[in-house]
Structures are given as structure tokens and as C-alpha cells.
Amino acid sequence: MKLEWMGNHRTLVEKIIKFGNAYSNAYKLQRSYGTDIMFSASQIQTLEYILEAEDKDEKMSEMAARLGVSRSAFSKNVKHLTEKGLLDKYHLSGNRKDIYVKPSAKGREVYEAYTGFVRQVFFHEIFRYADGISEGDKERFISIMDRLADSLLWYSEKEQEPRKLIKIDGDAG
């Protein structure tokens, strides 16, 4: 069957799907990534975002929304990172409800080791290749990825039709 709906973009769609599947397989796996701590890609992304946004004093719910993950997934990652000593939790005096998280000294140290490892193992070749691409092409690629992510987020939040049980007549086996 010819998949005409993709037009001349079949290879692009195939590579997006391949990346999505590979990332999905690795997303929750615990690895050391060149450090002495085991963590998942999901957890290190949470730590990375907290490091990047630490001067904003965002509540955990705000951080989860900006990352595009559910509050429960974000909270679970924060719990694991706190248990590993990579994050510290805070609340404001007079307000114990809103939780704020900051990287610990150990979190900063582990993140430094992680970035050196992933830069060499995963991104060295990609960055070298990207250096040969024009800024305009990079911006278009970034826009494609951003639109794809927004579409996936929108669709994952869209209400699905309720499922119905359908009786199977007779024994097919």
C-alpha cells in the first residue's frame, strides 16, 4: 500500500517515528550516564529544568506545565531526585502548600558529570553536523519539532471517545 498522505515527507516521518520509539524505550530506564548515580532520562530532564530555571522560583506545578509533563510525573521525578540527594525541597514561611525545589550541591555535581558524558557519547557528532547547517535551517527544524510536540501534547489531552465492550459470538479458536 502506498502511503500518499505523506507526500515526499515519508522519510522525515519515518525518522521522527524512529526517534520517538527509541526515546520512548530509553525514557524510563535507569542508567548512570557517566556518574555514580542511577537515574532515568525523565529524571535528569527534571533536574536540568530545575537548574535552568532556579532563579525563577517557580512552583512545581508551574515547572511541570512548562516541561509539558503531568504534575504527577513531575512530582514522582522530584521525589526520586530528592531521595538520591540531587534536589532539596522548600516552602515559603506561612505557606506549606506550595513546594519549591532547588538543586543540591550533589545535584549540580552529578549534572556536570552527566553533561560531559552525554555531550561526548550522544551529542558530539550531532553538534558537529549541526554546525554545518545554516541558522535558518536550524530554526525551521526547531519549528518542525516544536509543532510536532505541541500537536502530540494537544492530542494527548484531547478527550477520547468512551470504549464499549462488544460481545464476541462463538469461540474463534
Query: What is the residue-level pLDDT of the chain in tens, covering all 173 positions?
Result: 677 888 899 999 999 999 999 988 888 899 999 999 999 999 999 999 999 988 887 878 888 888 888 889 999 999 999 999 999 988 878 777 777 889 999 999 999 999 999 999 999 999 999 999 999 999 999 999 989 988 887 887 776 777 777 888 876 55
Distance, CA of 155 to CA of 146 (rounded, Å): 14
For residue 43, the enclosing domain spans 10-110
Question: Are residues 21 and 72 located together in one domain of the fold?
Answer: yes
Residues 6+ apart with CB under 8 A from 63: 49, 50, 53, 74, 101
Q: Are 93 and 42 contacting, i.e. CB atoms less than 8 angstroms apart?
A: no
Distance, CA of 144 to CA of 173 (rounded, Å): 46
Number of domains in the chain: 2
Q: Are 34 and 116 contacting, i.e. CB atoms less than 8 angstroms apart?
A: yes
Question: Are residues 18 and 73 located together in one domain of the fold?
Answer: yes
Q: Is residue 27 part of a domain?
A: yes
State the Cα torsion 30-69-147-39 to the nearest 10°.
-10
Question: Are residues 20 and 98 located together in one domain of the fold?
Answer: yes
Taking the mean position of all CA atoms in its chain, how far away is CA 153?
A: 12
Alpha helical stretches, state H, 27-172: 41-52, 60-67, 71-83, 105-118, 124-130, 135-157
Distance, CA of 58 to CA of 48 (rounded, Å): 14
Q: Is residue 19 part of a domain?
A: yes
Kindly report the pTM of this predicted structure.
Answer: 0.74
